[in-house]
Structure 1
Amino acid sequence: MRRGYLFLFVVISALQLLSAGDSPVVHHVQGFVGGSAHLFCVLERTYDVLKKVNGLYFQKTARDGTETFINGFYTREVKVLPEYKNRTIINKEDLSMEMSELSLADEGEYTCIPFVSGEPRNQTKFHLTVTANYSVPIITVQGCGSGPASHNCVIECSSSGGFPLSNVTWSAVGNEMSSLLRDEGEPVFMQDNRSHLWNVSHTVTLNCSQELKITCSVGGVMSPAVTVCLPARTRDMIVPIIACAVLLLVSIAISVIVICTRCRRTQTSAEHSTDAELVYLK
């Protein structure tokens, strides 16, 4: 196994020397955490060229310039590192590599190197960007008081599991959000130590001069609209309406129980009468 890795190190080092001074076009590829990405090597697709392809290397360039072999094939066996062995697939027909189960660590610069008759041909450069969609933001109404504080409404928007870092953006349906803000707290950003994904939250205080429908978005993902700053009359009517609905349901339940009980009693009386008539006939 050491010989296999040593062979790859020698080949990669030689390729670095061959590519010195070249500035090929960089192909940008987008991937998502947990998803997959396809890297297609650019090569003249003539029959004469393709039938002479006897090798293909995909490698990643670290920030310090070091190269890491990812996967490929050659006239002799090549060794694939354990972290790539079960989640990279080489397609010899279209000279491509599929990388699955992407994580943020996979983001970076990649190079595809085809070998034609044992000689390296034009390289293809890729920049793989890995992102993660934020969860649908949730708006929590922390307090829309009554009395002296009735014109203040404190709400929070929170979202999680996203990358890269993104701010919370507020909007009010049919209104200018900036004119409604009474106070604005500092956004809170928390990054998971293992996944490196971000959790974001932001709390604001609204000036409740009218009924409002508020939404928030994080990383392009928008929350459902939430109605806040209900008029005092509307707030006062909510409790009686709920109470009436509960009383109605209780009354219906009691009526059903009474009717069922009466039906059972009537049925029992009928059965006793029938038994008495039979005894009399005997």
Structure 2
Amino acid sequence: MPVVTYCSLLCGFMCQNSPLQPNNTTQEEVQAEVGGHVRLPSRHRIQGKVTFMYMQKSSSSIFVNGHYDEKHVQPDETFRNRTKVDPHRPPAWVDLWDVRVTDEGAYDCILRDEAKQTKMLTLYLKVTANYSAPAVTVSYSNESDGGRGLEVTCSSSGGYPNVRVEWIFQPQAAGAHWTETNESSVQDPITMLYTVSTSIFINCSQPLKIRCTVGGAVSQQEEVCNTSGPVPDDRMVITAAVITAILFILVMIIMVKKEKACPTIDTPDVEAGADQFELQTLT
């Protein structure tokens, strides 16, 4: 079975047929997740068998897949081994597996039936990827606001498209009580997925319960600004305990050395001397 390239397929078809009519064009949006499967349909009322089907990426004219009578067509390398055509079931469609961020965009699909009617569909594939559960870290300040301020950071990764971090306070915190100090968004050059992170500084005036959301993913709840004040750092507690132990040992050593340096008093000799003094006094 001969292999037809996508260039010769489209050129040959267009040469044999009249230009497409605007009233034959329809639009549709399809959604898919990264790594998943999606069906790209051509929803037309085709009369009888589809004799020609051609789907391409609109922006780059890359041939996705198609069908031309009994001839075998070869998809572009970008979509090879990831697509399959089924033009015989209404509506005709192209199955796409292992969806990637780079697959997002507009697609053109041209169809022709046995009655030699030609129709065109433009559809848009929207690609998404779920962000990981956001991680929240809290850093207490020992300088600002007398130690009553703190910095909260929310970060999440592996998502698409790029989104901002949203904060949820209970009770609701006024904007004057917190400010955004840092925001970053990094896109992986290979997977095209995003890692986002945002930090805010909270001026503690009341106890708060705080969460953050990233593209629908919600973090665990954190309790901050407790009236008992910031929780001391474990390293500080350990350091203070070690210093206290060292000081105690030094004091004990000094006391032992002082006791060894002082002369001891022989109690029996003193008592004997006192007895002799009393005898001399009596005589």
* TM-score (structure 1 length as normaliser): 0.71
The amino acid that maps onto 1:4 is V
Distance 1:129 1:73, change over 3 A: same
Secondary structure of the structure 2 residue equivalent to 1:18: coil
Aligned to 1:71: 65
Aligned to 1:175: 172
The amino acid that maps onto 1:87 is R
CA drift of 1:110 comes to: 1.0
Q: Within 2, Cα distance between the matches of 1:15 and 1:185? A: 63
Alignment partner of 2:81 out of 79, 86, 104: 86
Q: Percent identity?
A: 29
Aligned to 1:220: 216
Distance 1:209 1:12, change over 3 A: farther
CA drift of 1:9 comes to: 4.3
Gaps of 5+ in 1: 240-282
Q: For each residue in 1:204-248, what CA deviation from the matched residue of structure 2 results, as whole angstroms up to 9, or x when unmatched?
A: 111222221101112232212111122227958xx9xxxxxxxxx
- Consecutive aligned runs of 4 or more in structure 1 exceeding 6 Å deviation: none
Alignment of 1:1-282 (within 5 A): 4-5=4-5, 6-11=7-12, 14=15, 18-19=19-20, 24-44=25-45, 49-50=47-48, 52-62=49-59, 67-75=61-69, 76-91=71-86, 92-94=88-90, 95-117=92-114, 119-143=116-140, 145=142, 149-181=146-178, 183-232=179-228, 235=231
Distance 1:208 1:12, change over 3 A: farther
Secondary structure of the structure 1 residue equivalent to 2:72: coil
Q: Within 1, Cα distance between the matches of 2:17 and 2:225? A: 64
Q: Which has the larger radius of gyration?
A: 2
Distance 1:103 1:177, change over 3 A: farther
Distance 1:120 1:87, change over 3 A: farther
Q: Within 2, Cα distance between the matches of 1:70 and 1:156? A: 43
CA drift of 1:127 comes to: 0.9
Does the 8 A contact of 1:211 with 1:230 survive in 2?
A: yes
RMSD between superposed Cα atoms in Å: 3.0
Does the 8 A contact of 1:171 with 1:177 survive in 2?
A: no
Higher helix share: 1
Does the 8 A contact of 2:148 with 2:230 survive in 1?
A: no
The amino acid that maps onto 2:26 is V
CA drift of 1:140 comes to: 0.5
Does the 8 A contact of 2:165 with 2:213 survive in 1?
A: yes
Does the 8 A contact of 2:20 with 2:119 survive in 1?
A: no
Gaps of 5+ in 2: 235-283
Moved more, 118-127 or 103-112: 118-127
Does the 8 A contact of 2:147 with 2:230 survive in 1?
A: no
Q: Within 1, Cα distance between the matches of 2:181 and 2:75? A: 50
Distance 1:148 1:112, change over 3 A: closer
